[in-house]
């Protein structure tokens, strides 16, 4: 083994001498351009970005195998799943941290659409190392089309960055990006669900950054549950049969009359949607329990801050 190491060391030494000598003969014009500090930061971010898809695909593959596994095979797969899931979570967190640091570090740099295009093209190029993984997960073209669309939305027709409304930390760009991301999660129409979700998140957190940092899994589940009534496609298509327009208007009118607060119209509309998804007619809704009334009130409480 020592002889092997010595031999490898000798070869390495010779290679170093050869490289050193030959490099002097190379023209400076043939050398690759030196990377800027920003490009180095983008490379670090792209590596973490790729890790998200690599580990995410591993998690998905294990999940598929677990569907048909039993006994010890299932236990073994579950252990692998936990490890892979943790790696995916860590990769996601690392990328978010790097992306946030990039934004902070280069926030004072001159900004326009041309610079954004160059940075985008460079980042995309670095991610070609995991092109197959991205294609498998999201679709290579789909991902970058959506990515660029989001970036371009932050610039006006002259290519200058759109100034955000500093008095309201959820800018129109932030809200549109949130809705686009939410709607892309599923093939079905999630527009109502995503609108509800966004309203609730904005009522809980003053900015997207605050939501990303402090929103817990319990918060996410609670918001999802509160907005779940918008996903009841089957019932939403049928419940209006037992609720005439007159009855719906009467419900909202009576509800608003209970309080003169500004949020009552939005609150009562929300309550009506949930009640109609639970009961086929006003008569049937009279069987509603106090617990159900409290659950509806809690589900629509996000309207208090609207």
How many domains are contained in the chain?
A: 2
The pLDDT value given to residue 284: 84
154 and 244 inside one domain: no
The pLDDT value given to residue 27: 47
State how far the Cα of 293 lies from the Cα of 69, in Å rounded to an integer.
Answer: 43
Task: Provide long-range contacts, Cβ within 8 A and 24+ apart, for 121-126.
Answer: 122/39, 122/42, 123/42, 123/45, 123/46, 123/49, 126/42, 126/43, 126/46, 126/47
Least confident span in 19-33, 185-199, 273-287: 19-33
State how far the Cα of 258 lies from the Cα of 94, in Å rounded to an integer.
Answer: 49
More confident call, 129 vs 170: 129
Q: What residues make up the domain containing 89?
A: 37-158
pLDDT band per the 50, 70, 90 thresholds, residue 233: very low
Structural domain includes residue 182: no
pLDDT band per the 50, 70, 90 thresholds, residue 10: very low
User: What is the pLDDT averaged over residues 136-165?
Assistant: 83
State how far the Cα of 302 lies from the Cα of 270, in Å rounded to an integer.
Answer: 10
Structural domain includes residue 150: yes
Domain boundary among 136, 158, 180: 158
State how far the Cα of 23 lies from the Cα of 31, in Å rounded to an integer.
Answer: 10
Mean of pLDDT over the chain? 78
151 and 261 inside one domain: no
Domain boundary among 158, 187, 206: 158
The pLDDT value given to residue 128: 93
Structural domain includes residue 207: no
Write the pLDDT tens digit of every residue in 261-293: 777 888 888 888 888 888 888 888 888 888 888
Structural domain includes residue 80: yes
State how far the Cα of 183 lies from the Cα of 149, in Å rounded to an integer.
Answer: 15
What is the pTM assigned to this prediction?
A: 0.47
42 and 135 inside one domain: yes
Domain boundary among 102, 134, 158: 158
């Amino acid at each position: 083994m020592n002889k092997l190491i010595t031999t490898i060391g000798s070869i390495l030494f010779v290679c170093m001498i050869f490289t050193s000598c030959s490099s002097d003969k190379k023209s400076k014009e043939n050398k690759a351009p030196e990377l800027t500090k920003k490009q180095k930061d983008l490379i670090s971010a792209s590596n973490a970005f790729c890790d998200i898809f690599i580990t995410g695909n591993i998690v998905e593959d294990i999940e598929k195998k677990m569907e048909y596994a039993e006994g010890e095979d299932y236990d073994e797969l579950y252990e692998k799943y936990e490890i892979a899931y943790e790696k995916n979570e860590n990769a996601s967190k690392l990328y978010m941290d790097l992306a946030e640091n990039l934004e902070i570090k280069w926030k004072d740099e001159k900004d326009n659409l041309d610079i954004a295009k160059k940075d985008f093209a460079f980042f995309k190029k670095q991610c070609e190392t995991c092109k197959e993984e991205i294609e498998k997960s999201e679709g290579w073209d789909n991902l970058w089309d959506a990515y660029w669309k989001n970036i371009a939305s932050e610039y006006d027709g002259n290519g200058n960055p759109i100034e955000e409304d500093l008095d309201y930390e959820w800018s129109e760009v932030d809200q549109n990006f949130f809705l686009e991301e939410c709607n892309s999660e599923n093939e079905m129409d999630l527009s109502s669900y995503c609108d509800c979700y966004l309203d609730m998140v904005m009522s809980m957190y003053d900015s997207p950054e605050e939501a990303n940092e402090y929103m817990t899994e319990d918060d996410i589940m609670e918001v999802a549950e509160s907005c779940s009534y918008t996903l009841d496609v089957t019932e939403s298509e049928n419940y209006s049969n037992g609720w005439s327009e007159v009855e719906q208007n009467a419900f909202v009118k009576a509800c608003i009359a209970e309080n003169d607060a500004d949020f009552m119209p939005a609150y009562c509309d929300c309550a009506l949607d949930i009640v109609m998804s639970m009961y086929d007619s006003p008569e049937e809704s009279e069987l509603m329990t106090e617990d159900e009334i409290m659950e509806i009130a809690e589900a629509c409480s996000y309207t208090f801050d609207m």
